[in-house]
Structure formats: structure tokens, C-alpha cells
Structure 1
Amino acid sequence: MTTPRRAARELALLSAAQVLSQPHTLSEQDCRSLMLAAIRTLALEVRESLELASSDLNESHGLLLKSELAAPEYKKAQSYLQKAIETTESTINRLGTALELPEILYFAHQDEVQMYALALLNCLNTHQATLDQTLGESLVDWQVDRLANIDRTILQLAIAEMMYLDVARKVAINEAVELAKRYSDEGGHRFINGVLRRFSDRQIQESNTSKAT
């Protein structure tokens, strides 16, 4: 069930890329502009996914035509076809999310939703460098700039909640995992859960060390 704060997190996630590209307008943002940015983000993702699936299908079709002459081409065609199927499944999930936008719209006009979404976006804008540094310290054999944009933003939002908005660690992590299940790739929620658990464990350790001294 969608709650006001969950709607705010989703609104912040989907609008972040477009809103933060013009950070000077953050103080002027209202519910309508946040929703417009969210809708544009979803539409862009769906369009890009469909284009990618179409490209893979065309490549697969071309290789299948050659496969009668060369067995390796058949294997390549299978690979492209599998990629096209996976991309199409991802696109269908994105479309399913878009169909649920009316539920977000229902909550979005509430002051609590708008204020918390803007608080999250302001955290991302104001503390971008610190969030990325902190995130990098919680990654294992990976770099921040190699993360998928959606995963990076989900992680930044959760860390911002724990560091700056006094949200309980368990709540922030669970909410991030739920966002990842809706918007990240398959298995993305497990990766995000692992990163945030490491961040949380380090926070607890640092807090205990500080109290001991």
C-alpha cells in the first residue's frame, strides 16, 4: 500500500534527474512540476527500452538469416533474442509502473508528500559530494560512476534519509529495497540491500566508537 512518505520517495526518485539538472529552480518546484518530471522520466525510460529491444530483435533476425550458413551466427542470434526478450519484459514492468501513476497522483497533492519529496531532492542537491563519497565507501569492487542512474539515486535517497532526515536505518533500507524492486533491474534490490547494510553497519560501528571515547 502506498503511504504519503512512500509516494514522496517515489516522486523524488522519478523526478530527480530532471529537477536536479536545474537545481536553482528547486525552491520553486510544486507538485505539478514534480509529477511532470516523473512522467517524463518514465516515458523516456520506456522509449529507450523499446528502442533497445527493437534493435536486438533486428540484429537477431539478421543473424538468423545467416545461420543456415554458419552455426556461430545462430548462437549469436539466440543471444540477441534473449536480450530482446529481457528488455521487453523490463519495458512491460515500466509500463505497469506508469499505469500506477494515478495512485501517486492521489497522494502527490498532499502537503506532506510535496514537502518530503522536496526535502529529499534538496538533500541530494546540497550533499551530492558527501553522499557519493559515503556511497563509494560502502561499495565493494565497484565505483559510484559505474552504477546505473536509478540504483545510484535510490542509494543516495536512502543514505540521505539516514544521515540528514533522521529516518530509522531499517525503514530507509526497506523503503529503498521496495523502490529497487519496482525500478531497478532484476536482482538490483539485493545489491542495494547489501550496500545499505554495509553503510548502516559502519554507521553503528562509528557511533559505538564515538560513545566509547
Structure 2
Amino acid sequence: MHNNKSLSRELSLISLGLIKDKGDFKLNKFQIEEIFESALDSLINHCRDELDNCESELENASQKILDSELKEGVNSSFSNIRDDLKKSLAKIEIVMNTLSVSLDFPKLIISSGQMDIREDVNDRVSSIINNLKIIDSDIDQVMDGWRLKRLPRIDRDILRLAYVDMNFLSTPVAVACDEAVNLANKYSDTKGRKFINGVLRRLQTVKLQ
């Protein structure tokens, strides 16, 4: 289940992706609010897609079960039928897990109307765009021979959000890291997740000067 802070972080991440990645601009609150609305639309559309995918996966799985029942009368071996059923049931289990996450989305839509979430996203996004140079340079210092700008945009933004949590919003380090890892699991790839984990460990020791 999304708690409000997790939802704020996710919406902040999507919002950041809609902003040019440059340190020489300022956005006012109204512009950030517009970006927030686009981010919310994008998240809700993602959920609708997930639900549509679940529906078609369930239809496929139930069709396979029907097919295997029909095969029972034909000269098909029991072990083949059992394998088909196992695969279908495994598919249904994955779909049910996805559904249990997606069914929280009515709550997401209601929560998103709450001012505290909008304020929180505004604070996070403003903190990043107004302090981008110092944030990026501090993260660069713990990048171990890499440069932040070489990372995919989504990975950069996940690290920036974690930095803001630790240094601007007094979030406990363990919570900031857990939340960043959750975002990486959802939005990054395997390589990105590993890299983010390593940088987060080193970032824990760096505090805002």
C-alpha cells in the first residue's frame, strides 16, 4: 500500500522526469503544480494499463485451463495437462499480486487531492531544482570514479530525491534509502538498481555542509 510519503516520492520522481535536467532554471509554484497534474495523470494511466494487462492475462490463463480440459478427452498425457495447469496458475498468481497493488489506486486518486501531498511534492521538486548543482556535486563525490551525468535520467533523479530526503527533509537515512530502493525496483533496471544501492551506501556518510 502506498503511504502518503511514498506516493509523494513517486509523484516527485515522475514530475522531475517532465522537467529539463539543467541547473540554470527556476520554476514557480504554479508551474510545479501543472507538472504535478501531468505526473498524476501518468501514474493513473500506468495503473489503468496494469489493470488492462491483468484482465488479458487472466483471460489467457482461463482459456488455457479450458483447452487442457478439452485435451483430457483426447489422447494427451496427464502430465502435459498438469504442466499447463501449473503454468496457468502461476500466471494467475502474478496477476493477483499486480492487482493487489493496482487496486490501491482509488486511494491514490483520493490521496492526490490532499494538500499535504501536493505541498510535499512541491517541496521535493523545488529543493532539487533550486539546489541542483550542490546536490549533483555531492553525489558525484561518492560516485566512485563515475559521473552522475553518465547515469540514466531516472537513476539520477532517484538519487537526488534520496539526497533531499536525507539532507533537506530530515528523513531517517534508513527510510530514505529504503524508499529510493523501492523506486529503483519499480522504475530502474537491474544494473541501475545495483548502482543506486552502492551510491546510497556511500551517500549515507555525506551530509549537507
The TM-score by the shorter chain falls in which range?
A: 0.5 to 0.7
**Residue identity matched to 1:28:** F
Asked if residue 120 in structure 1 is aligned to residue 163 in structure 2, the reply is no
Quote the residue 1:7 is aligned against.
Answer: 7
**Residue identity matched to 1:8:** S
Counterpart pick for 1:201 among 174, 199, 205: 205
Asked if residue 169 in structure 1 is aligned to residue 173 in structure 2, the reply is yes
Deviations 1:72-98 (A, max 9, x none): xxxxxxxxxxxxxxxxxxxxxxxx999
Asked if residue 28 in structure 1 is aligned to residue 25 in structure 2, the reply is no
Structure 1 unaligned regions, length at least 5: 44-95, 208-213
Q: How far is the alpha carbon of 1:137 from its aligned partner?
A: 0.7
Once residues 174 and 39 of structure 2 are traced to their aligned partners in structure 1, the CA distance between those partners, rounded to angstroms, is 29
Quote the residue 1:189 is aligned against.
Answer: 193
| Equivalence map 1:1-213=2 (5 Å) | 1-19=1-19, 24-29=26-31, 33-37=35-39, 39=41, 103-203=107-207
Once residues 201 and 189 of structure 1 are traced to their aligned partners in structure 2, the CA distance between those partners, rounded to angstroms, is 19
Deviations 1:33-58 (A, max 9, x none): 41314545998xxxxxxxxxxxxxxx
Once residues 149 and 32 of structure 2 are traced to their aligned partners in structure 1, the CA distance between those partners, rounded to angstroms, is 30
Q: Give aligned-pair identity as a percent.
A: 28
Q: Which moved more, 1:29-38 or 1:109-118?
A: 29-38
Higher RCO, 1 vs 2 (CA within 8 Å, ≥6 residues apart): 2
Quote the residue 1:70 is aligned against.
Answer: none
Relative to its length, the structure with more helix (as a share) is: 1
For the Cα contact (< 8 Å) 1:161–1:172, is it kept in 2? yes
Q: How far is the alpha carbon of 1:32 from its aligned partner?
A: 6.2
Q: How far is the alpha carbon of 1:191 from its aligned partner?
A: 1.8
Q: For the structure 1 residues 98 and 141, does the alpha-carbon distance in structure 2 shift closer, same or farther, using more than 3 Å as the test?
A: farther
**Residue identity matched to 2:131:** H
Question: Greater Rg, structure 1 or structure 2?
Answer: 2
Provide TM-score, normalisation by structure 2.
0.63
Deviations 1:170-191 (A, max 9, x none): 1111100000000001243232
Q: How far is the alpha carbon of 1:138 from its aligned partner?
A: 1.2
Q: How far is the alpha carbon of 1:21 from its aligned partner?
A: 6.9
Once residues 140 and 99 of structure 1 are traced to their aligned partners in structure 2, the CA distance between those partners, rounded to angstroms, is 41
**Residue identity matched to 2:11:** L
Once residues 136 and 146 of structure 1 are traced to their aligned partners in structure 2, the CA distance between those partners, rounded to angstroms, is 11
Count of equivalent residues: 155
Once residues 33 and 106 of structure 2 are traced to their aligned partners in structure 1, the CA distance between those partners, rounded to angstroms, is 14
Once residues 168 and 182 of structure 1 are traced to their aligned partners in structure 2, the CA distance between those partners, rounded to angstroms, is 22
Structure 2 unaligned regions, length at least 5: 46-98
